[in-house]
Amino acid sequence: MATNVRNIQQKLFRSDSYGTQTPSESPKPDNPLTISIPETVTPLPKIGRPSEPNGSPASNENGPRFYRERHWKRWGPYVSDRQWATVREDYSGDGDAWAHFPHEHARSRTYRWGEDGIAGISDNHQRLCFSLALWNENDRMLKERLFGVSGPQGNHGEDYPQKAYPYEDLVRENQHRSREVVEFEILDTDVFDKDRYWDVFVELWFPNSWSWAIPPPPRPNLVATTNNRITATHDKFGKTHLYCFPSPPPVGPDGQPVNDGVNGEEESVEPELLFTENDTNFMRCFHDHIIPAHRLPVHQSVDGRSKANSNGKEHNSSGSDSDSGRATPVPQHGVQFVNPERTGTKSAAHYTFRNVPGRGGCAVVRLKLTPTTPQKDPTLEDEGLFDEVIEERRVEADEFYHNLTQGYVSDDLRAIMRQALAGMLWTKQYYKFIANEWLEGDPAQPRPPPSRKFLRGNKDWTHLYASDILSMPDKWEYPYFAAWDSAFHCIPLAVVDPAFAKKQLDLLTREWYMKPDGQIPAYEWNFSDVNPPVHAWATFRVFKIERKLYGREDVPFLERVFQKLLLNFTWWVNRKDADGANVFEGGFLGLDNIGLFNRSEPLPTGGTLRQADGTAWMAFYCLNMLSMALELAKHNSVYEDIASKFFEAADILSQHFIFIADAMTYHSGHDEFSLWNERDGMYYDAIQWGDYSMQMPVRSLVGLIPLYATLTLEPSVVNRFPGFKKRMDWFIENRPEVSGRNMANMKVRGRGERFLLALASKERLVSILEKMLDESEFFSEHGIRSLSKLHKDHPWGMEVNGQRHESKSGMFGGNSNWRGPIWLAVNFLLIESLQRFHQYYGDELQVECPTGSGEYMNLCQVAEEIQHRIIHIFGRDIHGRRAFNGGNQKLDFDPFFRDYVCFYEYFHGDDGRGLGASHQTGWSGLVAYHILQSGASCRLPKTPRTPRSLAHHYFDETIDSRSEYGDDVHSLMSAFSASDLNTLGDVSPDAL
């Protein structure tokens, strides 16, 4: 399997890494580290940000020598679904991005920092963009971008019907609904009732780069060079052409044309080429009070062009709306929107398809963007050859995805996996944000209000210079990078595009993202917020996934990121451990809406929040850094040659873990307090006021996250480094009060003489799992809840100054607390933790799963059961329904909807319906990894589970017991090795 995937990927991608320099580029050296790290014999590749001609940092366009032959990643789906209402475009004094640049403005205002469109494509610096636009002959505007209600209104994107779009109805209804009521969706209206889902515009445009600087840069140009060709000229990449072929007439579901021409012959649909300027419509925006607070004086020039003297922008397409901005603008004073000379900076090929039948009717548009001519490219004149190329690419993609899975995986699960992985690739986006320029404003624009510099935590990030292709959580709901989201994105991305996954992890530690003190930017709404430290875990997992699937060990990548993460680790130790007691707090740490308070803000109660999960996250971070350090020692001879220095670093990390683990019992004065509740058998947060401390008995992920901090060490690895072993043994023997109190007993060897480093002892692990696997608490039919269902009938809150706190903040999605939504990211870490615990305990440790069922499983079987329940969110059950659809009849059974999967942000704890962002392939794309790892043994949703009492699963480097499903279908713990069945099925210490 690995060989097949590797061959196909090389055929498709012709690359295995990003980031090396072209000979002409002069990379910047990295800032020196304050931590002593040995030099390598073979220098690491320098990935300093190259310079553009003006000397400013820019993305590296070119890859390795063999990869530059065909720079296939120069063009991609890099256009956002939404640029309006982003922080980047917000120049207001109050920080209300949704109000400052709403959807209503987007069709009339140019963007400063990026572009958006429908199914948009651009080059990797977004100099030229290409997308679809639609009109159903009913709406008041051309559909150039997706509509959605704003964050305060519900924050959802849309589908686009052929009937008039219900803009106002969606906004009005969602504003009136409380957070305990399901959002009002477009499918709740009648616009899709007749299944007629148009005029098609294929738009090609240059982003507005000329309205911000003084003097302005050269303006690019688009011009019609024939009736079917638009030629684009740009000073950075020369000329390229968009060929707009005539289209055949639409056909019905039976494949027969519906519009016969003269004498019954088919008539082709010829495009009309339209041109305008990509400039702000000042008459509509300012004169007609669309933006009344920014009304600017507009003067009509002699040639009919409008100019706004106060900001230096000029445009050719001014005109006021016929009804103060609520209708499609009508040109006035003789000014035309469409340039009859067929030239400009924005263009469209307008195809009109009439009488396209519903329910299976089809219209085809053929387009090709290329710098070549018909003399060099025969597909530009032969539509048969054109279609053959498209079909060849389709077959290659089919072959690639098919070879990711071997053995029996149902067609439905294969389709889910493919859509998840394809969605991960589609959510690549060009992201540009030069923080200093954004804060100061542009020379050719009015100076922004001074107050905006102090609205968010972004004023301290003036060094940030983002101009890269990044993985977005969702290109409509969250069209900006989020550091900890990106870490989870990289796991499924590593399966299909390991080079891109590594690039994401590398970029966020580069000096133009990471602060000099080591802090990694969180997300654009507040770069200074604190996200869980998962970067080290993701880096090592991507390294191991690439090694498993493609047989490559990118040690330079691992070493480069490891060195930068030492800075970040130091930042955590120095900044978040306020009292130097190894108890960490600060930031919401990813726990959306399941605690009592917004943890990014000071407590309304006063005092200090002692976060069990914050301390556990740091223990998790320590163990991942320790794993990386030991791996580097195995693969880098220099680390072995100067072993004493390296063991010192490894020893420091191991001792950090031990001291952080000990901090789960913390001190205040002469008193000692614990985050572990012996009576309940759970970890809880606590509030400390001086010498007084109070636990908050909320059963949530706070009590489960300590399970993440677990690492199994092979005896062969420990024995390979006697210095490290000596230091570890000394600490265990001489500091028993620390090494044996808040962690697993480090003296006891496990299966195969393995060592275990973990926060949870065996007794605490079993106690936590008893609640986690209880279906009346955490264990849902669709995974692990983030909040125990116990709190549905037994809520816990605090009265502070007459206000009861139960954390229903609108900031975090509005899902009422007791439902305990299911997040795939935190479930993924729980699953891997159970797999690591099983590496140590083997079949000796069995727990009841579900609690009270009388059925016992080892921990790897428990992990697989959780994986299957997560897969059941997306899989079609025996009744033909998918849980995430929430019982919607059309989505479940309509042949034009039923096979399409939405990867929501999170899921309802009771019924699995999708919640939050409605197409966030981001971390919910992790389901692809679950299918690849255990899909072959996954039963249909809502069918009985096969008893496992006769299944005894043991494993080491290979897995040596058969599945409960018989000889032909194997589970995660099957007898087949990773290369025989699926390399991701290997959950040995070497793989995890």
User: Could you read off the pLDDT of 330-339 as tens digits, one per residue?
Assistant: 445 555 789 9
Min mean pLDDT across 366-380, 397-411, 956-970 is at 956-970
803-805 and 846-848 beta bridge pairing? unpaired
pLDDT at residue number 684: 87
Calpha distance 343→893 (Å, rounded): 47
Calpha distance 571→566 (Å, rounded): 9
pLDDT per residue as tens digits for the range 961-971: 333 223 333 33
| Helix intervals (H) in 126-251 | 167-176
Calpha distance 836→840 (Å, rounded): 7
Q: Is the pLDDT of residue 166 over 70?
A: no
Min mean pLDDT across 4-18, 481-495, 792-806, 848-862 is at 4-18
367-370 and 346-352 beta bridge pairing? unpaired
For 429-447, the DSSP string reads EEEEEEHHHHHH--TTSPP
Q: Is the pLDDT of residue 719 over 80?
A: yes
Q: Is the pLDDT of residue 320 over 50?
A: no
755-758 and 710-713 beta bridge pairing? antiparallel
555: three-class secondary structure by DSSP: helix
| 754 close to 989: Cβ distance less than 8 angstroms | yes
Quick one: which H or E segment has residue 199? strand 199-205
Backbone angles phi, psi at 19, to 5 degrees: 100, -15
Q: How confident is the model at residue 20 (pLDDT cuts 50, 70, 90)?
A: very low
629: three-class secondary structure by DSSP: helix
pLDDT at residue number 488: 96
Backbone angles phi, psi at 557, to 5 degrees: -60, -45
In one-letter notation, the amino acid at residue 253 is P
Min mean pLDDT across 155-159, 570-574, 616-620 is at 155-159
pLDDT at residue number 779: 97
Q: Is the pLDDT of residue 155 over 60?
A: no
Calpha distance 311→298 (Å, rounded): 11
Q: How confident is the model at residue 283 (pLDDT cuts 50, 70, 90)?
A: confident
Percent of the chain with pLDDT over 70: 68
Calpha distance 699→684 (Å, rounded): 7
367: three-class secondary structure by DSSP: strand
pLDDT at residue number 319: 33
| 503 close to 493: Cβ distance less than 8 angstroms | no
pLDDT at residue number 53: 32
Q: Specify the residue for token string 């964050």.
A: 151
Calpha distance 544→491 (Å, rounded): 10
pLDDT at residue number 328: 37
pLDDT at residue number 599: 64
pLDDT at residue number 800: 76
Calpha distance 49→46 (Å, rounded): 9
Calpha distance 445→448 (Å, rounded): 9
Min mean pLDDT across 37-46, 243-252, 531-540, 955-964 is at 955-964
pLDDT at residue number 671: 67
Calpha distance 501→510 (Å, rounded): 15
Of 29, 128, 59, nearest in space to 466 by CA: 59
Give the count of beta carbons closer than 10 Å to the beta carbon of residue 8: 18
Q: Is the pLDDT of residue 848 over 80?
A: yes
Q: Which residue has the higher pLDDT, 852 or 10?
A: 852
pLDDT at residue number 308: 34
| 204 close to 222: Cβ distance less than 8 angstroms | yes
| 959 close to 974: Cβ distance less than 8 angstroms | yes
Residues in the chain: 992
Q: Which residue has the higher pLDDT, 635 or 65?
A: 635
Q: Specify the residue for token string 């025996």.
A: 878
Instruction: Tell me the two tokens of residue 553.
Output: 């060990």
pLDDT per residue as tens digits for the range 866-918: 999 999 999 999 999 999 999 999 999 999 889 999 999 999 999 999 988 87
Of 134, 133, 169, 144, nearest in space to 154 by CA: 169
pLDDT per residue as tens digits for the range 478-527: 999 999 999 999 999 999 999 999 999 999 999 999 999 999 999 999 89
Q: Which residue has the higher pLDDT, 645 or 789?
A: 789
Q: Is the pLDDT of residue 146 over 70?
A: yes
Calpha distance 744→763 (Å, rounded): 9
161: three-class secondary structure by DSSP: coil
Min mean pLDDT across 92-96, 471-475, 819-823 is at 819-823
Q: Is 293 exposed, middle or buried (0-12, 13-18, 19+ CB in 10 A)?
A: exposed
Q: Which residue has the higher pLDDT, 691 or 391?
A: 391
Q: Specify the residue for token string 């019924």.
A: 911
386: three-class secondary structure by DSSP: helix
Contacts of residue 601, Cβ cutoff 8 Å, sequence gap at least 6: none
Span 83-96, mean pLDDT? 93
Give the count of beta carbons closer than 10 Å to the beta carbon of residue 779: 25
Instruction: Tell me the two tokens of residue 702.
Output: 């706070």
Q: Which residue has the higher pLDDT, 1 or 64?
A: 1
pLDDT per residue as tens digits for the range 588-601: 555 555 666 666 66
pLDDT at residue number 109: 93
Quick one: which H or E segment has residue 651? helix 643-662
| 639 close to 555: Cβ distance less than 8 angstroms | no
Q: What is the 3-state secondary structure (H, E, C) of 682-718?
A: EECEEEEECCEEEEECCCEHHHCHHHHCEEEECHHHH
Of 977, 928, 956, 23, nearest in space to 493 by CA: 928
Q: How confident is the model at residue 181 (pLDDT cuts 50, 70, 90)?
A: low
Mean pLDDT computed over every residue of the chain: 77
Q: What is the pTM of this model?
A: 0.83
Beta bridge partners of residue 306, listed in sequence order: 300, 315
| Helix intervals (H) in 777-905 | 790-793, 824-841, 859-874, 889-893
